[in-house]
């Protein structure tokens, strides 16, 4: 019996020793995860959670497929990506076509859940508000909830407001869409709260701040005041809207529109008053060279252009990410790039001449040299035939020692002196890559690293995506002033933007001023995802996005008595002919239908929530 007692005692002591010497012995917490209670009792872990919310920005606008290719800015080169489903008006709830993750309904709601978790936990903080960290994190989470909600609003119109987390065991998870007005009010309330909480906090770039909250407020209110969301105006312009039974989901069915424009103006001015380093203080135009440099620096967010950025998605070369590959995605095939989103001639033609007059193909001087004496922003935005660019790869420098864009076909003389055709190195008949080139004859330069030492194929850019920038807010202010009849104020600020771009002042008024503003916004904010939403909210999409995409055919012939064995762009020895052509409908046959003012709510979402009402036309 004593023997057994000794065994029991030894076992008891051994068990106690194991537990006391190894507290982790019975710890079943996953080693790769952190308990929720630990996250919200530690300031560092709470900040990490809020930081992860910014992942909902995904790549910003730096996807391989760009929103520009759903507009009259560009066309997407490669088939089978869902782009033409949208541009040819074939979108439907089962196959809406290409939608990037920063606009997808399900993704936005997943991110909204994260913001609601953060807001609820930080509203009853379990750690000290040292240095105002609780207020800051709560402000950031509240801003991001507003940002994701605004993404839903401008893509789908009204949505079911997600202002709390939903838990297991709820009576129902099926909730209807709120009204458009309720959605706007919800977003604005969040932005007002975020601006208050973030006041006095100077954050690193890429995080929300007070100015970003006020700037986003100005955008949301501007959109809300626009034609598409004033139901009497929208109904008069669209049979699909006028026959829709739930107009309150699309816009304001009552109320004072002038008051809405005034709110938009006031919000933009409040943001403008806080903007540091505003460049728009010029009283005369910059030189063309200075203007192109300033615009380029603003696009690259460097050399002073950093101050133009209010809120953006940033990239580091040391952290390779998909959004850092813009040069590879969109650069010329003659540089071994993919030529993804290529500008259309419609966009090129909307850039004014340096004297402020419109470009006109019926003007012989313009038609013979279409890339001369254009708005300086043209040269910082596009790569066109003859444009100076970076050195070719070592394997191809002998074909083009000067690094000039070649998007045409040209006469050259061979060894026997006979004239033969040289296909440009950046065409789809290129001797470098004959399958990966532009269909339009153009490439994007904006947002692509211009450093000659930067090789697009194996180096990641550090150029941030401008989710919100200073000039957009100023443009929003100008638009509200125009709609309120305050033309002197609108012209003054519009001319500040034009002076910075090296362009002369405009004296336009009335409808001419409105059209001048629309074009100025198109040019200044090119490829920044503004055109997609602007054409819709102004309800000009049938006349703009409904146009067939087009491009340029260029032929260079040797002048009499001239010869050239290695092609280079040179008007002294070549005569150049330029012919505009429509993109083959077999490639893309663009069509606008009014259902395209909004994206369809996916069939799966409609099945999950029987309370949802589909958008008109679907």
**What is the secondary structure of 288-306 as a DSSP string?**
HHHHHHHHHHHHHT-TTGG
CB 486 within 8 A of CB 492: no
pLDDT digits (tens, 9 = 90+) for 607-618: 999 999 999 999
Q: Residue 329's pLDDT is what? A: 98
Over the stretch 142-195, which tens digit does the pLDDT of each residue have? 999 999 999 999 999 999 999 999 999 999 999 999 999 999 999 999 999 999
Residue 16's pLDDT is what? 44
> Among 343, 319, 328, which Cα is nearest to 448's?
328
Strand partners, 342: 75
Q: Encode 101-112: b = buried (16+ Cβ within 10 Å), e = exposed.
A: bbbbbebbeebb
Contact 341/492 with Cβ under 8 angstroms?
no
Burial of residue 178 (number of CB atoms within 10 Å: 0-12, 13-18, 19+): middle
pLDDT at 10 over 80: no
128 touches 172 (CB < 8 A)? no
Please give, one letter per residue, the 3-state secondary structure of 412-440. Answer: EECCCCCEEEEECCCCCCCCCCCCCCCCC
First CA to last CA across the chain, in angstroms?
85
Nearest to 112 by CA among 158, 165, 51: 165
For residues 44-58, average pLDDT: 97
CB atoms within 10 A of CB 462: 17
Residue 229, CB-side half-sphere exposure with 13 Å CA sphere: 32
**Residue closest to 526 by CA, chosen among 593, 475, 589:** 475
Instruction: Kindly state the average pLDDT of the residues 502-516.
Output: 98
Rg (CA), the chain: 28
Q: Tens digit of pLDDT for each residue in 232-289?
A: 999 999 999 999 999 999 999 999 999 999 999 999 999 999 986 567 989 999 999 9
CA 287 to chain centre: 29
The predicted pLDDT at position 4 comes to 40
Is the predicted pLDDT of residue 213 greater than 60, yes or no?
yes
Phi first, then psi, for residue 481 (nearest 5°) are -65, -45
Q: pLDDT tens digits for 66-90?
A: 999 999 999 999 999 999 999 999 9
Q: For the packed helices 210-225 and 257-272, what is the interaxial angle rounded to 10 degrees?
A: 160
Residue 488 confidence class, pLDDT cut points 50, 70, 90: very high
Residue range 330-345, pLDDT digits in tens: 999 999 999 999 999 9
179 near 248, Cβ under 8 Å? yes
Q: Which of 208, 180, 244, 57 is nearest to 537 (CA)?
A: 180
Instruction: Give residue 502's region: left, alpha or beta (phi > 0; psi -120 to 50).
Output: left
Residue 4 CB contacts under 8 Å (≥ 6 apart), including other chains: none
Query: Going along 223-355, which residue ranges are E strands?
Result: 309-313, 341-343
3-state helix, strand, coil in the chain (%, to 5): 45, 10, 45
CA angle 498, 504, 509 (to 5 degrees): 80
The residue among 2 and 135 whose pLDDT is bigger is 135
| 133 contacts: CB under 8 Å, gap ≥ 6 | 43, 47
Q: Where are the alpha helices (DSSP H) in 461-597?
A: 470-483, 487-500, 510-524, 530-537, 541-544
| pLDDT tens-digit series, residues 520-534 | 999 999 999 999 999
Dihedral of the alpha carbons of 319, 324, 329, 333, in degrees to the nearest 10: -80
Contact 216, 468 (CB under 8 A): yes
Over the chain, what is the mean pLDDT?
94
pLDDT digits (tens, 9 = 90+) for 427-470: 999 999 999 999 999 999 999 999 999 999 999 999 999 999 99
Which residue carries 């001319």 as its tokens?
Answer: 495
Query: Percentage of residues in the chain with pLDDT exceeding 70?
Result: 94
Measured CA to CA, the distance from residue 221 to residue 268 in angstroms comes to 9
Amino acid 275: pLDDT: 86
SS3 assignment, position 432:
coil
- DSSP assignment of 193-222: HHHHHHTT--PPTTS--HHHHHHHHHHHHH
pLDDT for 23 beyond 60: no
CA torsion angle 110 112 114 120 (round to 10): -150
Q: Please tell me the predicted confidence (pLDDT) of residue 18.
A: 39
Q: What is the rounded CA–CA span in Å between residue 462 and residue 320?
A: 10
Is residue 544 within 8 A of residue 463, CB to CB? The reply is no
Cβ atoms of 60 and 323 within 8 Å: the answer is yes
pLDDT tier, 202 (very low <50, low <70, confident <90, very high otherwise)? confident
Give 83-130 pLDDT, tens digit per residue.
999 999 999 999 999 999 999 999 999 999 999 999 999 999 999 999
279 versus 218: the higher-pLDDT residue is 218
Q: What is the mean pLDDT of residues 588-594?
A: 98
Per-residue model confidence (pLDDT) at position 29: 57
Helix axes 180-198, 133-156, angle to 10 degrees: 160
Q: What is the pLDDT of residue 35?
A: 75
Residue in the block written with tokens 């550090």: 462
149: which residues sit within 8 A by CB, 6+ positions away?
108, 112, 159, 161, 162, 183, 186, 187, 190
The C-alpha atoms of residue 79 and residue 588 are separated, in whole angstroms, by: 9
**DSSP H or E segment with residue 75:** strand 74-76
Count, residues in the chain: 618
**Any long-range contacts for 33-38 (C-beta under 8 Å, 24+ apart)?**
none
Q: Mean per-residue pLDDT for 344-371?
A: 98
């Amino acid at each position: 019996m004593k023997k057994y007692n000794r065994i029991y005692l030894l076992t008891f002591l051994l068990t106690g020793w194991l537990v006391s010497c190894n507290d982790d012995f019975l710890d079943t917490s996953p080693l790769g995860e952190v308990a929720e209670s630990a996250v919200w009792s530690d300031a560092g872990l709470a900040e990490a959670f809020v930081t992860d919310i910014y992942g909902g920005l995904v790549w910003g606008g730096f996807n391989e497929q760009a929103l520009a290719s759903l507009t009259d800015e560009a066309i997407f080169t490669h088939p089978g990506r869902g782009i033409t489903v949208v541009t040819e008006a074939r979108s439907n709830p089962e196959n809406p076509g290409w939608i990037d993750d920063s606009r997808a309904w399900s993704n936005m709601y997943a991110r909204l859940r994260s913001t609601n978790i953060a807001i609820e936990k930080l509203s009853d903080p379990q750690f000290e508000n040292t240095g105002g960290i609780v207020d800051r994190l709560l402000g950031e989470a509240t801003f991001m909830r507003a940002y994701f909600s605004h993404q839903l609003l401008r893509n789908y119109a009204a949505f079911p407001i997600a202002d709390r987390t939903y838990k297991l065991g709820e009576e129902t998870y099926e909730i209807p869409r709120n009204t458009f007005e309720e959605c706007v009010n919800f977003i604005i309330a969040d932005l007002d709260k975020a601006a208050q909480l973030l006041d006095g906090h100077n954050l690193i770039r890429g995080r929300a701040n007070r100015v970003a909250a006020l700037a986003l407020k100005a955008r949301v209110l501007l959109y809300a005041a626009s034609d598409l969301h004033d139901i009497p105006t929208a109904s008069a312009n669209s049979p699909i809207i006028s026959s829709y039974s739930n107009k309150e989901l699309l816009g304001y069915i009552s109320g004072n529109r002038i008051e809405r424009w005034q709110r938009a103006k006031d919000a933009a001015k409040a943001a403008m008053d806080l903007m540091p380093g505003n460049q728009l203080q010029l009283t005369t135009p910059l030189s063309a060279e200075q203007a192109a440099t300033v615009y380029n620096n603003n696009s690259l967010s460097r050399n002073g252009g950093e101050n133009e950025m209010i809120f953006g998605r940033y990239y580091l070369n040391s952290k390779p990410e998909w959004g850092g590959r813009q040069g590879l995605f969109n650069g010329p095939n003659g540089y071994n790039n993919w030529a993804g989103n290529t500008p259309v001639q419609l966009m090129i033609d909307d850039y004014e001449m340096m004297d402020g007059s419109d470009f006109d193909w019926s003007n012989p001087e313009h038609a013979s040299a279409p890339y001369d004496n254009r708005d300086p922003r043209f040269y910082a935005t596009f790569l066109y035939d003859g444009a100076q660019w970076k050195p070719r790869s070592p394997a191809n420098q002998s074909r083009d020692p000067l690094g000039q864009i070649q998007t045409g076909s040209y006469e050259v003389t061979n060894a026997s002196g006979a004239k033969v055709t040289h296909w440009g190195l950046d065409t789809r008949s290129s001797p470098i890559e004959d399958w990966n080139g532009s269909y339009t004859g153009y490439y994007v330069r904006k947002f692509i690293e211009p450093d000659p030492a930067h090789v697009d194929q194996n180096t990641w850019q550090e150029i941030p995506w401008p989710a919100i920038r200073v000039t957009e807010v100023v443009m929003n202010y100008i638009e509200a002033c125009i709609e309120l009849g305050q033309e002197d104020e609108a012209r003054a600020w519009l001319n500040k933007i034009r002076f910075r771009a090296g362009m002369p002042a405009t004296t336009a008024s009335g409808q001419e001023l409105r059209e001048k503003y629309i074009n100025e916004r198109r040019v200044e904010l090119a490829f920044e995802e503004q055109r997609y939403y602007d054409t819709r909210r102004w309800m000009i999409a049938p006349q703009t996005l409904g146009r067939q995409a087009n491009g340029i055919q260029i032929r260079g012939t040797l002048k009499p008595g001239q010869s050239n064995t290695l092609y280079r762009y040179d008007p002294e020895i070549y005569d150049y002919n330029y012919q505009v052509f429509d993109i083959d409908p077999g490639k893309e046959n663009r069509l606008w239908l009014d259902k395209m003012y909004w994206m369809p709510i996916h069939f799966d979402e409609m099945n999950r929530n029987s309370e949802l009402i589909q958008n008109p036309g679907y």
